[in-house]
Amino acid sequence: MNLTTYPRRVRLIDVGPRDGLQNEKQPVPTAVKVELVHRLQAAGLREIEVTSYVSPKWVPQMADNHAVMQGIERRAGVRYSVLTPNMKGLEAALQDRPDEIVVFGAASEAFSQRNINCSIAESIERFAPVVEAARNAGIAVRGAMSCTVGCPFEGDIPPERVGMLARLMKDIGVQRVDVADTIGVGTPLKVQRAIEAVLAHYDIDHVSGHFHDTYGQALANTLAALQMGVWNFQCSVAGLGGCPYAPGATGNVATEDVVYLLHGLGIDTGIDLLALAETGAWISEQLGRPTGSRAGRALLARRARATSAGEQGA
Amino acid sequence: MNLTTYPRRVRLIDVGPRDGLQNEKQPVPTAVKVELVHRLQAAGLREIEVTSYVSPKWVPQMADNHAVMQGIERRAGVRYSVLTPNMKGLEAALQDRPDEIVVFGAASEAFSQRNINCSIAESIERFAPVVEAARNAGIAVRGAMSCTVGCPFEGDIPPERVGMLARLMKDIGVQRVDVADTIGVGTPLKVQRAIEAVLAHYDIDHVSGHFHDTYGQALANTLAALQMGVWNFQCSVAGLGGCPYAPGATGNVATEDVVYLLHGLGIDTGIDLLALAETGAWISEQLGRPTGSRAGRALLARRARATSAGEQGA
């Protein structure tokens, strides 16, 4: 019956330390950020988006980028990536030797204007020398493409616009791209159309899915992307990172929920789900809020019941 | 690219008034229950699980079953179903003329023993005369099959056991069955295997999916079931109905989230999603808790922003 094939292995990029924490109002201590990275790599994550090199005027939470990068005990086989919006950011990042830098563009003109204050074309022009300098320094380059399904200002985004952005990314030397549903409005067929447009310019190994769970659709979209052969995904432990356009709403899909799905499908991730759930519970406690991960919460509740039953039995 | 076909139309059964409310500790006023049914049918729901006829000693929240059923202004074309665990329950239900009664069995022996205090075979024996009497009275019969993927006591449930339960249901005259992942541990391939086992005994039009969102997997499982041709699903407005085995955890998948998925796929449900989201917000307010629906919360937040922007612009 099941003619659907799934990838045998999936690589997850946890963006919690950067995308997840950047909008936190209260400053998160550098030591907590470093410990988060350590816990994630101990749980088996092999790609972690650590911090960004943007002006602390705009993103004060990331002002300790050097301290975080230098505080991490790096593990062999783990890729540490950072956001660099411009040459100044790249130059600062180079001091810390990330494995990969991330540049970001939007598939929506209105979002590009409001988010980074320039047109899509201008953003690409601005990134071109950053990409070139990074690659000359032997550092990999990833392109985050936001609003590939919908935009809070423009509504639905046609797949052609996503394809156009992917082509521009390819032209300036970006090696792989994220197809991000930034506001979480996507559903499976729409997400597949956006990915399909990107596949005209990048092969499947260089496309990752980045789905927000704002409308609860992230895992359905993940399943749809897996069915196309996508095997790289971004996610955020405990679902860190709310959606700035919907107060109280969920943003990034929780890494725990994605891992639960993948393991249930028999797909290898190399991740210890219980250790990951504990990491999610730990960082949520640090931030003084409940976890955004349903699987994490349910798994830890199940373990607590088992422990309590064992104690009663003893 | 998209070789996947989806049903053109889906019928949703909202179980909120019964399955959703039955575990509420505080008594919910009868008038609120009646209004919930009225709001659901006004939003376009055409199947509603209204109440149950069980001993008020066991489920005090459903003690007002007669009052609720008699308080509803019935609409033509809407199917009102009720739970009847035994002949006494059926006799009580007959006074209120439901369109459909529901009997329930588990695919797990341990769960059957703990939940209804008898073996699976005994539960079927007990239901046989109930089913017969209902059908003789011209009332349809649905069979809810719990723990079809996993059981809190036994762990994984093999598909053969689900098939066996479906066969027993068929043998006593149950006309259609729900494949329920009662504790929400299922993932797409496991859910598909359970459904496949049921399809040996019931055709696709008589099988519905009932997925809990405890681990966040319900919509991925819904997508997988849609891909098999399943076009009937149970869900609960605002995600009413927690999981008794995981305090604080999500139980039933929220109707709003399912409708958002279906409409995004271009599938007709006949439901007005915004009216449904308002219903979810309303009942959550009545119960004094946040909604369990991500789509509901995001949609209402988006509307609030649009209204506020409109007022600023005016």
Q: Is B131 within 8 Å of B103 (Cβ atoms)?
A: yes
Q: B189 vs A264: CB contact, 8 Å cut-off?
A: yes
In this complex, the residue of A187, A261, A294 whose CB is nearest that of residue B261 is A187
Cβ of B216 within 8 Å of Cβ of A245? The answer is no
The token pair at B200 is 């040996």
Q: What is the 8-class DSSP label of residue B45?
A: -
* Nearest CA-CA distance, residue B122 and chain A, Å: 28
A101 Cβ contact partners less than 8 Å away, ≥ 6 residues apart: A81, A82, A83, A84, A90, A93, A130, A134, A139, A140, A141, A142
**B34-41 contacts: CB < 8 A, separation 24 or more?**
B34/B68, B34/B71, B34/B72, B36/B237, B36/B279, B36/B283, B37/B68, B37/B72, B37/B80, B38/B72, B38/B73, B39/B275, B39/B278, B39/B279, B39/B282, B39/B283, B40/B14, B40/B16, B40/B237, B40/B276, B40/B279, B41/B75, B41/B78
Question: How far, in Å, CA of B178 to CA of B208, rounded?
Answer: 5
Phi, psi of B117 (to 5 degrees): 65, 30
Q: What's the average pLDDT block by block, 10 residues per block, for chain A (314 residues)?
A: 83 96 92 98 98 92 97 98 96 98 94 88 95 98 96 93 97 98 96 98 98 96 98 97 60 96 98 98 94 94 82 52
Question: What gap in Å lies between CA B44 and CA B229, rounded to an integer?
Answer: 22
> How long, in residues, is chain A?
314
**What is the C-alpha R_g of chain B?**
19
Q: Considering only CB atoms, which chain B residues are within 8 Å of A7?
A: none
Q: What pLDDT was estimated at residue A100? A: 98
Which pair of structure tokens corresponds to residue A183?
A: 């506001």
Rounded to whole angstroms, the Cα distance separating A104 from A124 reads: 9
Q: Is the pLDDT of residue B309 over 80?
A: no
Q: What pLDDT shows up at residue B2? A: 55
Given this model, what pLDDT does residue A4 score? 81
Contact A260 B217 (CB under 8 A): yes
**B163-191 tens-digit pLDDT:** 999 999 999 999 999 999 999 999 999 99
What are the structural domains, with CATH classification, of chain B? 3-313 (3.20.20.70)
* 3-class secondary structure, B269: coil
What is the value of pTM for the model shown?
A: 0.95
Beta-carbon separation of B189 and A266 below 8 A: yes
Q: Which residues of B touch A295 (CB under 8 A)?
A: 215-217
B314 — pLDDT class (breaks 50, 70, 90): very low
For residues A303 and A117, give the distance between their C-alpha atoms in angstroms, rounded to a whole number: 48
Q: Which residues of A touch B191 (CB under 8 A)?
A: none
Model ipTM value: 0.94
pLDDT tens per residue, range B198-233? 999 999 999 999 999 999 999 999 999 999 999 999
Give the distance from residue B295's alpha carbon to the nearest chain A alpha carbon, in angstroms: 4
Element (H, E) at B146: strand B140-146
B179/B234 Cα distance (integer angstroms) = 9
* Mean pLDDT, residues B93-108 taken together: 96
| Token reading at B102 | 């529901």
The 10s digit of each residue's pLDDT in B9-67 is: 999 999 999 999 998 889 999 999 999 999 999 999 999 999 999 999 989 999 999 99
- Is B151 assigned a catalytic role? no
Angle between helical axes of A255-264 and B188-198 (0-180°, round to 10) = 40
CB B192 within 8 A of CB A1: yes
HEC per residue, A29-58: CHHHHHHHHHHHHHCCCCEEEEEECCCCCC
Question: In whole angstroms, how large is the CA radius of gyration of chain A?
Answer: 19
